[in-house]
Amino acid sequence: MARRVRRHADFLGDVSRQLAWLARNRETSWIDRFRTDLIRVTELLDRYPAAGALLERQGATVLRRVILPSTPYVAWYVYDEERADGEVILVRLFHAQQRRPAPDPSRWLSRTGDQD
């Protein structure tokens, strides 16, 4: 069964900042590749939510990371492993060289702000 993939407000903010940086510093082909990567990752997680590397587990709630296929970005996402029909929530996006905060899956599941 496919899961619905949603985008948290934190993830959308990260995407917006990365797009702005790419628009200022790279050719437009980078933006196209970045957008294509986001679509491909969403399709992957819709079908295979365990595809990413495990970062943190709190009970049945897991935080995983997946590397975008053709651009140097890493997406974090959370979901409940016990709910086969539960949503996958994309929560953060980082450049591969960017410092990342300590993982805490409860931060995103306990807050609102996720969007389609």
Supply the DSSP string of 41-109, one letter for each residue.
Answer: HHHHHHH-GGGSEEEEEETTEEEEEEE-SSSSEEEEEEEETT-TTPPEEEEEEEETTS--PPP-THHHH
- Reported pTM: 0.87
Could you tell me the CA-to-CA distances from 45 to 21, 23, 101 in Å, in that order? 26, 27, 22
The candidate with the shortest Cα–Cα distance to 42, out of 20, 21, 12, 18, is 12
Domains of the chain, each with CATH number or no CATH: 5-110 (3.30.2310.20)
Q: What is the pLDDT of residues 14-56, one digit of tens each?
A: 999 999 999 999 999 999 999 999 999 999 999 999 999 999 9
Tokens of 6: 């949603």
Mean pLDDT of the chain: 89
Distance of CA 115 to the CA centre of its chain: 12
